[in-house]
Copies of this chain bind each other. A is one copy, B any other.
Amino acid sequence: MAEHPSYELLYHPAIPGRGEFVRLAFEAAGVPVTDIANSEKDGYSEVQKICANKDIESSDGNPPIFSPPALRVPGKGRDGKALVISQTPNILLYLGDKLGLVPDDEAGKLYVNQLTLTALDLANEIHDSHHPIGVMLYYEDQKTEALRKAKDVRENRFPKFFSYFSRVLEHNERNGGGGKYMVGDKLTYADTTVWQVLDGVSFAFPKELEARRKEFPLLFDTFYENLKQEKGLKEYIKSARRLPFSQGLFRYYDELDRQ
């Protein structure tokens, strides 16, 4: 077993949100991470002090952070201080090698990053389906626009993204990966990230997904179901430790779903 440093996730408390993409990587690898806002008294104050300040450094000599999630790794920054990095795909890129969640070859690592960025693009579009105008406005104050945006996301974007990820799986199946994984023949953070977005879709748009899932059996029947059986993830997904979806990145509003 490799020795791991102590890893700290800096994110909002109580919601899965973008922090969940990072949590899933740790769970899949069986490596511990301290979720500061959810595990320490005044933890969220600490997160805000580092991630949501207007200072010219986040902490420990690292540049400022635009918004959470961030990852702090004591001892791994410059001059023996903590490394503090942000942007979900950047955190996953950093962790990929260290947690054993990428293939060994350069091309494989690039595909994993490519798929992760694409899955996170879909997550952004889903976010915008309930917040098309502004992140600081209430849903109720942009509901008219949300109804129209969500219709476009459901009718045009879901088929495009689902077709894409299905073809990636089919490509991998033909190249020896068995269609179980997005890249190569073992789990990568592209798998956990795509999976979490699909799980978010199943929460936010249950009727739409029910109507569409049979068009994409490799994605929903094989890939999505298989991931729930992966070591580490199997226990976590069923556990009370996994935060339920609520009012975060993925939200359920009946009127935005297929009618």
Contacts and interface: CB of A to CB of B under 8 A. Distances in A.
The number of times this chain is found in the oligomer is: 2
B111 A63 contact: yes
A133 B149 contact: yes
A148 B163 contact: no
A132 B149 contact: yes
A57 interface: yes
A74 to B, nearest CB: 13
* Residue of A121, A132, A156, A183 with most chain B CB atoms under a 10 A cut-off: A132
A107 B133 contact: no
Nearest to A71: B110
A132 B134 contact: no
A93 interface: yes
Contact of A117 (B77, B90, B137, B174): B90
Interface in A70-103: 77-78, 83, 85-87, 89-90, 93-94
A56 interface: yes
B133 A172 contact: no
